[in-house]
Structure 1
Amino acid sequence: MADSSALSPIELEVLWADFHSTVNMTAQEPAAWLRTRAAGAVGTSPPENAGGAAGRHVLAVLRRRRTELTADDVRLMREVVDRVAVLTEGSREPEPRATVTRHRLMSLGHDQLRP
């Protein structure tokens, strides 16, 4: 945790909890989603580095322990919590047909249709 030492243990605990409640998909679900999005409709085999950098970084953080976080991980966790809040702001009921927003959220590990 040396790289994330700028946060107090309590601040890190709060961020960790916020991130894991915001990212409501298991590590396997966004990984599969990112591979599907990278493969597209063609049906070719998706690349190992599928999805955007932020999505891949979310997956890396999901696979780490809190004590293994780097400063980049902490920065990403804050960004994801903030970005998901902005994208879901004001939406009482998620609409399945709002695909662009839903796809952006899923690329960050948040499924808007999940309770």
Structure 2
Amino acid sequence: MTKANAHGQSTDEEDKAAYEEFRTLVNMTAHQLDKWLATEESRAVGQKDGDAESVGHKSGRRIIELLGAKKSDLQPDDYAHMRKVAGYVKRHLAQRPHGDIEHTNWRYSLMNWGHDPLK
């Protein structure tokens, strides 16, 4: 859990750690992720909160923006999304199914969040 300062914002040190963890866990390039998000498999997986687009698919579009952003331009909500992505990827990796994962919804969901477990 990220601690906030007295103003409810994370510290520079915490933002740096969130950035590094995000960059480690997101192992797809912006181009690879953009290409993946255009597939039927990508659109078919994930939780849809009353919307046609899943939470993970929306996150993937935001991840592409973050991958293309200059570190100096990142805002507090960008670091918050990086933390969300890292948390999701770590939780999902802990639920790895047995057997071949290449064509599984588990892998496809992770890929929506920028992580391909086969890399």
TM-score class, shorter: 0.7 to 0.9
Contact residue 37 and residue 112 of structure 2 kept, 8 A: yes
Q: Secondary structure at the match of 2:69?
A: coil
1:29 matched residue in structure 2:
32
What is the distance in 1 between the residues matched to 2:15 and 2:90?
19
* 1:31–1:11 Cα change, 3 Å: same
Q: How does 1:58-73 map to 2 (within 5 A)?
A: 58-73=63-78
Q: Which runs of 5+ in 2 are unaligned?
A: 1-7, 44-52
Q: Which runs of 5+ in 1 are unaligned?
A: 41-49
How many residues of Structure 1 are paired with residues of Structure 2 in the alignment?
Answer: 101
Q: Percent identity at matched positions?
A: 28
TM-score (norm 2): 0.72
Contact residue 42 and residue 108 of structure 2 kept, 8 A: no
What is the distance in 2 between the residues matched to 1:113 and 1:89?
15
* 1:21–1:59 Cα change, 3 Å: same
The Cα RMSD (Å) is 2.8
Give the one of 11, 14, 21 matched to 2:17.
14
Deviations along 1:32-66, one digit per CA (max 9) or x if unpaired, are 000123897xxxxxxxxx98211100111111122
